[in-house]
Amino acid sequence: MKIVVLDGGTTNPGDISWAPLEALGDLTVYPNTPPELLLERARGAGALITNRVRLDRETVNALPELRYIGTLSIGVNQVDGAAARERGIPLCNVPYYCVEAVAQHALSLLLCLTSHGESYSQAVRRGEWSQAEAEAAGAWPLTELWGKKLGIVGFGNIGKAMARLGQALGMEVLLSSRTEKEAPACRWVDLDTLFRESDVVSLHCPLTPQTQGLVDARRLGLMKPTAFLINTARGGLVREQALADALNQGRLAGAGLDVLAQEPPAPDCPLLTARNCLVTPHVAWASREARERLIQTVADNFAAFLQGRPQNVANP
Q: Annotated active-site positions, please? A: 234, 263, 282
157-168 vs 99-115: helix axis angle to the nearest 10?
40
Q: Which of 267, 266, 262 is nearest to 238 (CA)?
A: 262
Give me the DSSP letters along the chain.
-EEEES--TTT-SSSS--HHHHTTSEEEE-S---GGGHHHHHTT-SEEEESS--B-HHHHHT-TT--EEEESSS--TTB-HHHHHHTT--EE---STTHHHHHHHHHHHHHHHHH-HHHHHHHHHTT-HHHHHHGGGTTS-----TT-EEEEE--SHHHHHHHHHHHHTT-EEEEE-SS----TTEEE--HHHHHHH-SEEEE-----TTTTT-B-HHHHHHS-TT-EEEE-S-GGGB-HHHHHHHHHTTSSSEEEES--SSSSPPTT-GGGS-TTEEE--S-TT--HHHHHHHHHHHHHHHHHHHTT---SBS--
Q: Which of 237, 163, 240 is nearest to 205 (CA)?
A: 237
Q: Which of 235, 298, 307 is nearest to 271 (CA)?
A: 235
